[in-house]
């Protein structure tokens, strides 16, 4: 298969997966994103969306794996870092949540508004429950 044809096939599978995702047809979306990764193993968008799907299905172990793969391939992906931290909060892994949020803030561009996360970390030891962070009630 030529390079251009391969790229078109990857794009087509990705677009089909995205349509399934928008319709919340998670099984079909997963199948297509996995095919995208078979064809293009470093596609961070497919990794990220697989993590999101697993998160929606409450399969936190698989979600963490794919967010981790996303961050290994692109360590500057702030949305994957934030989602991984919130995933750890939802799963009750408070130390991992706190560590990921600290990393998220350390990597923040200057002037980026992260007041909600900073507030959460300041109050983290003061009885703030992980679900409050997830629901934005910091």
Q: What is the pLDDT along the chain (138 residues), one digit of tens a residue?
A: 576 687 899 999 999 999 999 999 999 999 999 999 999 999 999 999 999 999 999 999 999 999 999 999 999 899 999 999 989 888 888 888 888 888 888 887 776 766 667 666 666 554 445 455 445 443
Sign of CA dihedral 73, 75, 78, 83: positive
What is the CATH code of the structural domain delimited by 60-138?
A: 1.25.40
Nearest CA among 39, 27, 32, 28 for reference residue 14:
32
> For 29-59, b where at least 16 C-beta lie within 10 A, e where not — what string?
bbebbebbbebbeebbbbbbbbbbbbbeeee
């Amino acid at each position: 298969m030529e390079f251009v044809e391969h790229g078109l096939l990857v794009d087509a599978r990705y677009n089909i997966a995205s349509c399934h995702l928008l319709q919340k047809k998670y099984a079909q979306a997963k199948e297509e994103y996995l095919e995208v990764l078979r064809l293009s193993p470093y596609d961070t968008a497919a990794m990220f969306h697989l993590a999101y799907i697993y998160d929606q299905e409450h399969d936190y172990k698989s979600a963490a794996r794919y967010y981790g793969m996303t961050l290994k391939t692109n360590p500057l992906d702030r949305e994957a870092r934030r989602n991984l931290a919130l995933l750890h909060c939802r799963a009750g892994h408070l130390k991992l949540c706190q560590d990921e949020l600290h990393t998220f803030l350390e990597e923040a561009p200057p002037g980026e508004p992260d007041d909600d996360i900073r507030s959460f970390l300041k109050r983290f030891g003061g009885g703030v429950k992980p679900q409050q962070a997830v629901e934005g009630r910091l």
